[in-house]
Each structure stands twice: as structure tokens, then as C-alpha cells.
Structure 1
């Protein structure tokens, strides 16, 4: 106690403030480190979010094409004669956007399972032209054509759902 009594007021104030200042510094550094971690994760998640948008847009168009295809085949080519080609053009636009994005996207950076799912979906997509030709020629059963579209859409939606599991921070994946 005599040591404290012999200290100047300036030193006594300094001693009183040192513990709160150290606590403030600790919590500040901790907060900055946490925000830095979240920021780094967001940079990792951003390409996934872009992929999800492009994949969802393509799924939406292929669902509409599936409906037009069912109508076309069900009517034996008498209905949806103009709607089906128009819908195919819309699907082609979204497919081109997805393909352009995938040229720059490194699926392997997100793990083998994700890359495998994405590869499955894109390989199904590569069958689209053949299925379309068969539909136009009325040489494919309606059920088979619809199953193709359903299978592709399911595979692509599986890729999108896999993206949610790829982030460590659940709040970011639901943002």
C-alpha cells in the first residue's frame, strides 16, 4: 500500500486505466479477427452465390421448356409449335450464361463431392440438344422427355443445395 501512496496522481490514474484498456484492446482485436474471418469466407462464398443465381435461372427456363415439351408431344406436334422454339431460345440464353460462368469457376476448390455433383448436372445438360431433336421429330415418348428435364432440374437443384453446406458460417449461406 505504501507503494501506491508514494505514486504520483498521474501514475495512479494510469494504473487504474491499464486493466480496462487491456480489456478493450483484447476485445477489439478479437472483433477485428472475427470480422476478417467472415470477410474471407464471404469472398469464398461469392462465386457460389453467383453460380446459384445462374443455375436457378437455367432451372426456371428448363422447367418452362419441360412444360412446353409436354404440351407439344401430348398434342403430337399440333400445339406449342411457336411457344416451344421461343422457350428453347430463352433456355439457350441462360445455358450460355451458365457455361460462360463455369469457364472461370473452379468447382474443385469446393471439394470433390461438389465438383462431382456439378459435373453430373452439366453432363446431363450436354444431352439437351439430342433430346430436343427427338422431341422435334416426335420420336421420343413424352414420359422419357419429361424425365430428362426432371432429372436435369433435380441434379442442378442438388448442386444448389450442396452450396449451403459448403460454408462454415450458416448466417452467410442464408444471406
Structure 2
């Protein structure tokens, strides 16, 4: 059945699979944090924040991949899917901003607040980037770079959150979750580069070397995830067992 799907449909399917894993890992992280830190409402709220960041980053990753394909095809591919995906990203961003309206940032220190401010400032630029993309007035590399930079700043928040816990178990869970998100981010950039390459039928300048690096970085972060994941390793292996994973490897081999 998968063999009958177009490359575009396969890319969209590939994008959807990690979301279920992120949601389930985030829910488990939140629950473990609650069990280990009853009464510590400060940490509980910041862990919830990390799950909202993970959900937003998942949508910006999908938007980045579709944006790359749209620009690589001079606006011919993903022209229907991209507007819908932008709406999904905006919904997650609104959820994050809504949560922050009742979030006391002063409780979490200077490093936390600096990372939060930097991430939110990048998010505010997204409308201008989208307009440039819609008008084909921005190079693919610059557009991909914007989403990557924004995601990096958002994910830096998760690293800061890991330092706030006095519980070794909670800190370990957060570090595992962070490394999973970082590996997933590299996979997202790989999809964006791959989508742009399939659409343009060639690697843009410097993109082949970048692609090789992304594949390697994913492995590094996944190895770190498994180091800290504990009983989440079995949970992850059960959820990642899907035929489309073979499709990912086949598409990767085509590019390599």
C-alpha cells in the first residue's frame, strides 16, 4: 500500500508518526514529574510548558518541510497543504502564548527567561517569513534556516527546564525527552532538505554535506535518548515499529 503513495504523501505520513510518540512521552514525563514532585507546583507548570513547546515544534517542523517543498518546486507542490499546516502551527503557538499569560516567569531564573524571550521573539517573525514564502521571495535555505533557528531556541527551553529539578528521576526524564526532541528536530531538517531536493530534483549548494551531517546527528541524539530513557526504551521501540520507517530508509538511500 505504501508503495502506491506519492513522495509528497509519504513525506506527510512520515511527519505524522513522531507526533504520537512526542505526545505519549510528554504525558508520561508530566505524570512522572507529578509523582516525584508532589507539592512543587513550580516544576509541574514548567514541565507542562515543555510539552507545549514540543507540540509547537512538531508543527513548525511540518511547516518547514512543506515550505521547503513549496519553494523547491517554485510553488507547485504543497500549495494546498501549506496553508492548512500554517493554521495548525498558529493554533499551537496560540496555545503556548495562552499558557504563558498565566505563567510566572520570574520564578525560574535569568537563563530560563533569556531563552524564553529569544524563542518568543523568533516566533513573532513568522508572518513575515510566510508572506515571503507565499510570494516566492525568499531562498529555500533562508526559510529553512528561520524555522530551524526558531526551533533551536524553543528546544533550548527544554534544556533549561532540566536544570530546575531537584529530583534525579525527573531530571533524567527531561534530559531523555530533550534528546528525543533534538533528534526529531534533525529528522525534521532532513525532511525539509529532502523535500526541497526531491522537488528541485537536485541538492542545492552545500546541502548534500549538510544532509549527511543531519543523519549522523540524529543517531547521536537518539543514542543519548536511549542512555537516559530507562523504561521508556521499551515504550519507544513499541511505538516506532511502523512500515513507514522502511520507507524513510529507502528515501534516504535515494538521496545518499
Could you say which TM-score interval applies, normalised by the shorter chain? 0.7 to 0.9
Whether 1:115 aligns to 2:119 is no
Is the counterpart of residue 161 in structure 1 residue 163 in structure 2?
A: no
Task: Determine helix, strand or coil for the equivalent of 1:104.
Answer: coil
Q: Structure 2, unaligned stretches of length 5 or more?
A: 1-35, 174-256
Q: Which runs of 5+ in 1 are unaligned?
A: 1-36
Match of 1:87 among 56, 63, 85: 85
What is the Cα deviation at residue 108 of structure 1? Answer: 2.0
User: 1:56, CA displacement in angstroms?
Assistant: 0.4
1:78 aligned counterpart, secondary structure: coil
Q: Residue 99 of structure 1 corresponds to which residue in structure 2?
A: 97
SS in 1 for 2:159: helix
Work out the CA distance in 2 between the residues paired with 1:38 and 1:153. Answer: 28
Q: Specify the alignment match of 2:126 in structure 1.
A: 128
Give the superposition deviation at 1:38. Answer: 4.5
Deviates more, 1:160-169 or 1:113-122: 160-169
Q: TM-score, normalised by structure 1?
A: 0.75
CA distance in 2: counterparts of 1:73 and 1:39, whole angstroms = 49
SS at match of 1:91: helix
Matched residue, 2:43: 45
Counterparts of 2:104 and 2:131, CA distance in 1: 32
Q: Report if the CA contact (8 A) 2:69-2:78 is conserved.
A: yes
Residue aligning to 2:58: 60
CA distance in 1, matches of 2:104, 2:132: 33
Aligned to 2:67: 69
Q: Equivalents in 2 of 1:136, 1:172: separation in Å?
A: 43
Measured in 2, the distance between the counterparts of 1:123 and 1:115 equals 12
Quote how far apart the aligned CAs of 1:174 are.
3.9
Q: What TM-score, normalized to structure 2?
A: 0.52
Q: Distance in 2 between matches of 1:151 and 1:173?
A: 25
Does the Cα contact within 8 Å between 2:42 and 2:107 map onto a contact in 1? Answer: no
Paired with 1:38 and 1:150, the residues of 2 have a C-alpha distance of 33
In structure 2, C-alpha distance between the alignment counterparts of 1:85 and 1:158, rounded to whole Å: 28
SS in structure 2 at match of 1:39: coil
Any conservation in 2 of the 1:108–1:114 contact (CA below 8 Å)?
A: no
Structure 1: how far apart are the matches of 2:168 and 2:52? 22
